[in-house]
Structure 1
Amino acid sequence: MNEPPRLPEGSFAAWSRDRLALARRGADECGDVWKLEPGVYVAARAGPCEAVLRRAQDFSLAASPLFPPLKRSSGATTPEERAHAHAARMRGLRPQAVAARIGEIAPSAAQFADQWPTGQDIEILPLVRHALAEIGVRYLFSEDAPALLPFASRLFLAREVLVRPSRWVWPHWVPTPARRFRTRQQVAFTNALQPIVRRRRSSGRLGDDVLGQMLRPSTRYGLLPEEAILDTLPGITIATFETPSRAAGWILLHLARHPQAADRVAAEAALLPADPAATTSTHLDSLQYTQALVREVLRLYPPSWLLTRRVTRQTRLADYTIGAGSTVLVCPYTAHRDAREHFDPDQFQPERWLDDSGSPANPGVFLSFGTGPHGCEGAALAMAMLTLLTAQTARHYHLSEPPGPEPSYQVTTLEGLATAGLRLRATLRS
């Protein structure tokens, strides 16, 4: 069998010590696809990464959901019901739906900028996460968001506990303390959400948010069971702010390190309405350089830098044979540094996403939100949130890293690419 090459001295032990460095070595020394361990392969370049993500029939999602359906006396929801719930949820997350609600997203982004303490070095990610949680939960649940936000915060804490490194990888059915804690928080969230679902249905005031879209009957599959709605929302609730928070850390760090780029973002943001609630999709579209900067940071530091897929049947990938049951690690981090796709790929150049007239361009593969049938359903919402947060921050402040030899953050890679402990200082623009 024609297998991909194995990286010399590559192993899980070396991988655990420095994942990013080993991923770069594998891409540089082995090319498109390389073998980490028997039965474990890394798709390192743009072409194979896109192929794996698009060919869901050959490369299936390997991980179980973070918040699996709860066990109930009425029985578990069926795969078909969960698929219908996903389709209903998507009605509220499509780009057109997000564009129609920009005026609801913009005020929280502006509030985050207004409340940033100035003149002191602060750990910024907790503030970012809170701001993005407010935006995400309000986008899903509108006026019911304040009642659900505390439960969403505890869901996030349960996620953090669940993904902490452990010496042991327990089977999914073992009720570890972390999993029991996760279940308790999931039950608490759904118990808080259930009366909201019933009130909306009984009153007929379903709402125009994502929950309202899920409560509307479809001509294709009718009315969703209550359980299918409750089961599908914990995961997407966390997703609206967890991954964007990691991305925002990298974006704010780049505003601090590239003041000329930050000045250009600030100049665009100065044209936004004084009242953030008056912001529309037209205003968002006018932030072309800001969006280019966000995309460039996401290219260099994709928050979900490694995606796992399971090979369902023996197949071919980049001229290699991959056996059934193998694991393929898709690496957007190295795919985005493929010189065949991006000129000078290690350099921060937001302009690469603009053509000569300053309009949006598409210079190469972009996998920060995945692609194919399992691409990120909240991509449009995430881009809107991050663009407005970036614009409002640069509009108000110059950012800088703390002086001194100590780094202002630590790179973490276990559950995503993040700037743990990031500290920055904000100074008001004159």
Structure 2
Amino acid sequence: MSQALPGPDPVWTAGTAPGIFPFLGHATALFRRPLDFLETLPAHGDLVEIRLGPRRAWVVCEPRLVHRMLMDPATFDKGGPLYDRLRGLMGDGLVTCRQDDHRRQRRLLQPAFSPARVAGCADLMGEEAASVCRSWRPGQRVDVTAALLALTTGVTSRLLFSDSLDDRRAAEVRSALAVVVQGLFVRTVVPVDALFRLPTPGNRRYRAAVARLRALVDDLVAERRRGVPRADLLGTLLAAGKDGGRTGDEGSGASGASEEGGRGAAGVLTEREIRDQLVTLLLTGVESTAMCLGSVFGLLAEHPEAEHRLHEEVDAVLAGRTAPGAGELTRLVYTRSVVTETLRLRPPGWLFTRLTTRETELAGRRLPRGATLLYSPYLLHHRAASFPRPEEFRPERWLPGRTAGPPPGALLPFAAGSRKCVGDTFAMTEAVAAVATIARHWRLRAPSGRVGRPRPAATLGPRSLVLLCEPRAHLPGRTPAPVSRAE
């Protein structure tokens, strides 16, 4: 427990970002150069007013203020342009639901992400990582982004659906998600509904991708109902829906919820909620982790010292194994530090919104009920006051005994408070397992020597990362062992 005595409240500053354009506000700057724009805001205050189209919004730039906001979800609820758009895709799943329904949903899903369940998934994570690089050849130019999306789709689909998602449907999921994440970002920074109702090619592609993703999930649910129960997350959700009856075309159940709205009784999921949870977990489990892994290998390609140290640890810990099991994962300390530093430097979730549920005060500014607030983990993670030399990739920041840790609100790759990501431990375990498995056998080099800064969409990460494969010789005069299933 901290022995620090309480001090006086900080003197916060509030201001307005310059460069407001008629109708568009700051949307042009946020769309064209989002990271650069965000980094200019702290110069105007700890709480900075901007315009998203015609809508007023406030960006929270100071970690302690962000921490206060996230720890008070009853006042600062999930909402604003980002979640308005996400609800069109995810419905009212765990990520997007309002605070008054969050506890019920989290209780249903939390057991699937318990430490014991996550540890039990270590082998399948290694198997999927080994499978994506099994066909690589020395000197080959590999589409690393596509490979990592295949990896995370494999892991997530096995968690959700066991082996029900075949190769064809997995490819359709990846294709649909690529369209969705790009479209979500545009719809967040320009929250003008009329623009997205126009029959443009981009709008048609987005609507088709959303419809296809939902249809794929509906097909998997229908197949499972006709088949044998399985001990996966879909099985958990279907068991939670048994007493809730069917909805929509199948009639009214005990919950009285309709297919297009409402929610089940305590402990019960409606048909729509089952689909919403599955779409939510597909989007967050596939896209975000793949972007994190892409950034890991892009950064390692640019930092050979860190790569060399990672290889030394992986070789020592894995010894004769091709992929880590649960026991080895706990010993991959530097590998985990590489992942943590990547999440700091290039967080996949880089911009989020909240909505005030009542009139409140933040940073000395009175905010009305329904006010939109934004916070950016990317911005917070690049503050020199929290992280010395913030633009440098320095995994050693996170080694045991090296640091007292960042202040509250400074590091938020998975948010904080009661709305912290339910799958944070799963995602970290998957990332460490994937990095160790691939790095055990391959170096991935940038053809031009530089990877470059990724451009954000709904998530931040490299969307077309192509690297050269270089096999690793673990002992002098020997070639790498063939990649196979985790032993």
Q: Distance in 2 between matches of 1:225 and 1:15?
A: 38
Structure 1 position 280 matched with structure 2 position 325: yes
> Aligned partner of 2:467: which letter?
L
What is the RMSD of the two structures over their aligned residues, measured on CA atoms? 3.4
Q: Distance in 1 between matches of 2:98 and 2:67?
A: 30
**1:66, distance to aligned residue in structure 2 (A):** 4.5
**1:315, distance to aligned residue in structure 2 (A):** 1.7
1:22 to 30, 37, 40: 37
User: Which residue number corresponds to residue 208 of structure 2?
Assistant: 181
Alpha-carbon displacement from aligned partner over 1:72-114 (angstroms, at most 9, x marks no partner): xxxxx99998864543222212333212221121111122233
Structure 1 position 100 matched with structure 2 position 127: no
**1:290, distance to aligned residue in structure 2 (A):** 0.4
1:377 to 416, 422, 425: 422
User: Which residue number corresponds to residue 5 of structure 1?
Assistant: 15
SS of the equivalent of 1:241 reads helix
Correspondence list, 1:225-374, <5 A: 225-270=270-315, 271-272=317-318, 274-275=320-321, 279-356=324-401, 362-364=405-407, 365-374=410-419
SS of the equivalent of 2:374 reads strand
1:419 to 439, 448, 462: 462
User: Which residue number corresponds to residue 56 of structure 2?
Assistant: 39
Give % identity.
Answer: 25
State which drifts further: 241-250 or 4-13.
Answer: 4-13
Q: Distance in 2 between matches of 1:240 and 1:49?
A: 24
Q: Distance in 1 between matches of 2:431 and 2:194?
A: 36
**1:161, distance to aligned residue in structure 2 (A):** 6.6
Answer whether contact 2:78 2:99 (CA < 8 A) is retained.
Answer: no
Answer whether contact 1:292 1:351 (CA < 8 A) is retained.
Answer: yes
Structure 1 position 169 matched with structure 2 position 196: no
**1:251, distance to aligned residue in structure 2 (A):** 0.6
Answer whether contact 1:354 1:361 (CA < 8 A) is retained.
Answer: no
User: Which residue number corresponds to residue 89 of structure 2?
Assistant: 67
Residues 21 and 162 (structure 1), Cα distance of their counterparts in 2 relative to 1, 3 Å cut: closer
**1:375, distance to aligned residue in structure 2 (A):** 2.0
**1:7, distance to aligned residue in structure 2 (A):** 3.1
SS of the equivalent of 2:125 reads helix
Answer whether contact 1:314 1:323 (CA < 8 A) is retained.
Answer: yes
**1:150, distance to aligned residue in structure 2 (A):** 4.7
Q: Distance in 1 between matches of 2:291 and 2:173?
A: 17
Answer whether contact 1:85 1:232 (CA < 8 A) is retained.
Answer: no
Answer whether contact 1:307 1:330 (CA < 8 A) is retained.
Answer: yes
Answer whether contact 1:337 1:345 (CA < 8 A) is retained.
Answer: yes
Q: Distance in 1 between matches of 2:56 and 2:240?
A: 45
Q: Distance in 2 between matches of 1:225 and 1:186?
A: 19
**1:183, distance to aligned residue in structure 2 (A):** 5.0
Structure 1 segments unaligned to the other structure (5+ residues):
71-76
Correspondence list, 1:73-222, <5 A: 84-146=104-166, 149-150=170-171, 152-153=173-174, 155-157=176-178, 159-160=180-181, 162-163=183-184, 165=186, 169-170=192-193, 177-178=204-205, 180-182=207-209, 184-199=211-226, 203=228, 205-207=229-231, 209-216=232-239, 221=266
Residues 79 and 13 (structure 1), Cα distance of their counterparts in 2 relative to 1, 3 Å cut: closer
1:48 to 52, 59, 65: 65
SS of the equivalent of 2:163 reads helix
Q: Distance in 2 between matches of 1:94 and 1:284?
A: 16
**1:127, distance to aligned residue in structure 2 (A):** 1.3
**1:382, distance to aligned residue in structure 2 (A):** 1.3
Answer whether contact 1:268 1:391 (CA < 8 A) is retained.
Answer: no
**1:367, distance to aligned residue in structure 2 (A):** 0.4
Residues 376 and 428 (structure 1), Cα distance of their counterparts in 2 relative to 1, 3 Å cut: same
**1:325, distance to aligned residue in structure 2 (A):** 2.4
Structure 2 segments unaligned to the other structure (5+ residues):
1-11, 21-25, 244-264, 474-487
> Aligned partner of 2:127: which letter?
P
> How does the TM-score come out when normalised to structure 2?
0.75
Residues 144 and 17 (structure 1), Cα distance of their counterparts in 2 relative to 1, 3 Å cut: closer
> How does the TM-score come out when normalised to structure 1?
0.84
Residues 372 and 178 (structure 1), Cα distance of their counterparts in 2 relative to 1, 3 Å cut: farther
**1:291, distance to aligned residue in structure 2 (A):** 0.5
SS of the equivalent of 1:286 reads coil
Q: Distance in 1 between matches of 2:287 and 2:162?
A: 19
State which drifts further: 93-102 or 212-221.
Answer: 212-221
Q: Distance in 2 between matches of 1:255 and 1:376?
A: 26
> Aligned partner of 1:6: which letter?
T
Q: Distance in 2 between matches of 1:199 and 1:295?
A: 42
> Aligned partner of 2:294: which letter?
G
**1:350, distance to aligned residue in structure 2 (A):** 0.9
User: Which residue number corresponds to residue 447 of structure 2?
Assistant: 402
Aligned length: 413
Alpha-carbon displacement from aligned partner over 1:266-285 (angstroms, at most 9, x marks no partner): 122222264557x4322111
Q: Distance in 1 between matches of 2:140 and 2:357?
A: 53
Q: Distance in 2 between matches of 1:306 and 1:48?
A: 16
